[in-house]
Each structure stands twice: as C-alpha cells, then as structure tokens.
Amino acid sequence: MAYENILVEKLEGRVGLIRLNRPRALNALSSALVRELMDALRALNADDEVGCIVITGSERVFAAGADIKEMSTATPVEMLAVDLLDWDALRKAKKPVIAAVSGWALGGGCELAMACDMIVASETATFGQPEINLGIIPGAGGTQRLIRAVGKALAMEMILNARNLSAEEAYQFGLVNRVVPAESYLDEALTLAREIAARAPVAVRLAKEAVNKAYEMTLAEGLAYEQRAFFLLFSTEDQREGMQAFMEKRKPEWKGR
Ligand code: DAK
C-alpha cells in the first residue's frame, strides 16, 4: 500500500516509526489517513525486525482529531461503516507502541496517544477532548481511557467543558511518561523505543498484555492472568539465557523464543 498521509521508516535498533503527515489539515485523522495508519501498524507488528513502534506527528501538531470536514455530513450508518478511529488495534498490537507528542493532541488525536502504551511529550504538547464544542462526545476511547489516566474530576472537566491540559499538567496527572524540550521529544521517544526493543521480546509482549489486562479484569482475575504469563515464560530460551547471563555476570543475548 502506498501511503499519502503518513511516512513509515524502519530505524536502527529494531524501531518502526510512523509519522502522521497531513500538515495542511493539522494531521486531522481522515478515513484515508486512519486506513494507512492501521495498515502500517499491521505491517510493523508482523515484522520480526521491529521490536517497538513509535507514532508521531510534527513539532506543531500530533493530531487535531478526526477530520471534521469529512465527518460533518456523515450519517450514523456511514460512521459505522468506516473502521474509523478503532484504536483498539494499538492495545492489541504485540509490540509496544509509544506516542511521541508535540503540539496539539486533540479529540481523536488525544485518544490515539492514550491508546498507545506510553507517551513522551514535548513541553509544547497540549492534550484535550474538545468534541463538546462540536456537539458530540469522544468516540474513540476518550471517556474511558482519560478517566483511568487522570481520574474522574479532571476527565469530567476536560470532556464536559473542553479543558485542555498542558504537557506539564499531563505529566503531573499521570497521562504522559515524561516531558522533554521540543527539540528532543522524538529522539527521547526513539531512545526509549530502542531500549525496549532490545529487551526479551516474548517477555515484553506478555508484560504489555498483562498490564493492559489490569484495565479489564478484577484483581483476582488479573493476578491469575499474570501468573499464567509468568509461568509461560519459563518455557522460553530467553528465560534460561537471562538467568544464566546474570549468574555468569554477562549481558544476555535474547533470541525471542
Ligand atoms: N479536521 C479538519 N480540519 C482541521 C482540523 C480537524 N480536526 N483541525 C484543523 N483543521 C484545519 C483547519 O480547518 C485549517 O484548514 P483551512 O481552514 O486553512 O483549510 C487548518 O487545519 C489549520 O487550522 P487552524 O487555522 O484552525 O489552526 P490554529 O492554529 O488556529 O488552531 C487548533 C489549531 C488545533 C486549535 C484548531 O485547528 C482546532 O480547534 N481544530 C479542531 C480540533 C477539534 O475540535 N478536534 C476534535 C475533532 S472531533 C469516531 C470516534 C472518534 C472520533 C470520530 C469518530 N468513531 C468511532 C467513528 C473523533 C472525533 C474528533 O476527534
């Protein structure tokens, strides 16, 4: 698939990079862009040479939300027909996905960042769910993910009254992992991605799954799930290698099996 709205690169250190690239529309998430993003995600997820995926925009904007011009005349059935903004694919991705956010992350853009496993923000990043200004509500996870990240009080204010969060506020409330200068947000995200991509792949995959299960299960179910995943790792060569390397005081060499 040739891409017109995103740029995709495979970088050294087993990192796949997807850049949203519709600058004139502030990276508004048109159905064409979302289709390309999902296709690139599927391809990088299936690529054994990639251990971690980074999604970014430009320094000015991560994404200003779904494409309002495209959506403005849509019927419910048309909205249903397009697989628009189904960010669950990010949660289900085998590889960790990091959002590198600078500038606006609004509406579906904020939801996209929140559906990633981690967020590295530039100090210029602004997060918000301004859908209420358009007479709608968040539809791609905003009402559910925001409350889990920042709590009910602030989530209500953001969703009911279009209150934006600065990068520093987003950090204080636990929405993002770190805030760094605008010049270095992408490098920071790529460094983090390379570090994770260099770790034992099966353990990374099961760790992501187990942490995400905490959203969905009772504590008892989650603890049981974690134990199964933990025991399963004792069938991997990497568990043997990791523990052997520790005892031999050397760096482990991961095989991904
Ligand atoms: N859609 C389309 N075009 C957009 C856009 C958007 N979301 N955001 C900006 N643009 C366009 C502007 O129209 C303008 O284009 P021209 O008029 O020059 O042709 C260009 O980008 C530059 O924008 P501005 O002139 O407005 O730039 P400023 O720097 O003055 O303002 C801004 C930047 C980000 C504050 C402002 O552009 C803005 O407020 N944008 C809209 C933000 C917003 O309301 N986002 C929420 C969209 S609703 C779904 C699930 C979820 C959703 C949809 C479906 N399903 C499950 C099916 C999600 C919905 C949303 O995200």
Q: pLDDT digits over 178-195, tens only?
A: 999 999 999 999 999 999
pLDDT cut 70: percent of the chain above it? 99
Closest CA relative to residue 19, chosen from 31, 30, 3: 3
Sheet with 178-180, edge to edge strand ranges: 6-11, 15-20, 52-56, 97-101, 118-122, 178-180
pTM exceeds 0.85: yes
**pLDDT tens digit string along 184-234?**
999 999 999 999 999 999 999 999 999 999 988 999 999 999 999 999 999
CA 207 to ligand 1 centroid distance, Å: 35
Catalytic residue among 111, 125, 140, 197: 111
Atom number in ligand 1 closest to CA 82: 57
Pocket of ligand 1 (CB under 6 A): 25-26, 28, 64-69, 79, 84-85, 104, 106-108, 130-131, 133-134, 139-140
**Apex CA 220: angle with CA 216 and CA 223, to 5°?**
80
- The yes-or-no answer on residue 108 being catalytic is yes
Task: Please give the distance of CA 215 from its chain centroid, rounded to a whole number.
Answer: 15
CA 24 to ligand 1 centroid distance, Å: 11
Query: In whole numbers, what is the pLDDT of the chain averaged over residues?
Result: 96
Sheet with 104-106, edge to edge strand ranges: 61-63, 104-106, 126-128, 165-166
Residue 85's pLDDT band, with cuts at 50, 70 and 90, is confident
Nearest-CA residue for atom 21 of ligand 1: 25
CA 185 to ligand 1 centroid distance, Å: 23
Q: How far apart are CA 231 and CA 41, in angstroms?
A: 29
Per-residue confidence (pLDDT) for residue 77, from 0 to 100: 86
Residue 81 has pLDDT above 80, yes or no: no
Nearest-CA residue for atom 12 of ligand 1: 25
Closest CA relative to residue 56, chosen from 186, 187, 174: 186
